Amino acid sequence: MERLRSQSILSKGAFTLDAQIVRTAGDVGWMRVTGEMTDTACIDPSLHGLTQNATEEKLRLKRLRRLAANDALTGLARRALNENCVLNRWRAAFPTLPLSALILFDLDGFKGINDRLGHLAGGMLA
């Protein structure tokens, strides 16, 4: 925070910092500190700041990311997330080699869904 504050003063700009904190009760929270130089054309400019509790916002964002990345029925990572993860790691490790792989997942109870609703429906759940 000191580095951001100093840079803001030197550049006559603004900064925002989200910091994870541990409260006195031991629980974890988030605070957002925002600062901005005002009256930068004056001889004596000022740095004004604001501190906000960003814990609820961070928790909502974490829940949304989990919902987007994980299947609601199984809690497992969605197919697209697995594919992206595998492809990105492969490309990073072996940028010149083509990808050839077969990945099988055996999920208890999915046979019933596939039998009742068809493999396309089961694939939509994965």
DSSP per residue, 19-79: EEEE-TTS-EEEEEEEEEEE-TTSSS-EEEEEEEE-HHHHHHHHHHHHHHHB-TTT-PBPH
Q: What are the structure tokens assigned to 66, written together?
A: 């989990």
Domains of the chain: which residue ranges? 2-61, 70-125
Predicted TM-score (pTM) of this structure? 0.55
pLDDT at 28: 93
Q: How confident is the model at residue 91 (pLDDT cuts 50, 70, 90)?
A: confident
Rounded to an integer, the average pLDDT of 71-76 is 77
Q: What is the mean pLDDT of residues 29-56?
A: 86
Confidence category of residue 40, pLDDT binned at 50, 70, 90: low
Task: Report the chain's mean pLDDT, rounded to a whole number.
Answer: 82
pLDDT at 29: 95
Q: What is the pLDDT of residues 27-39, one digit of tens each?
A: 999 999 999 888 7
Can you tell me the mean pLDDT for 77-96?
80
Token representation of residue 75: 């809690």
Kindly indicate whether the domain formed by 2-61 is annotated with CATH number 3.90.1150.10: no
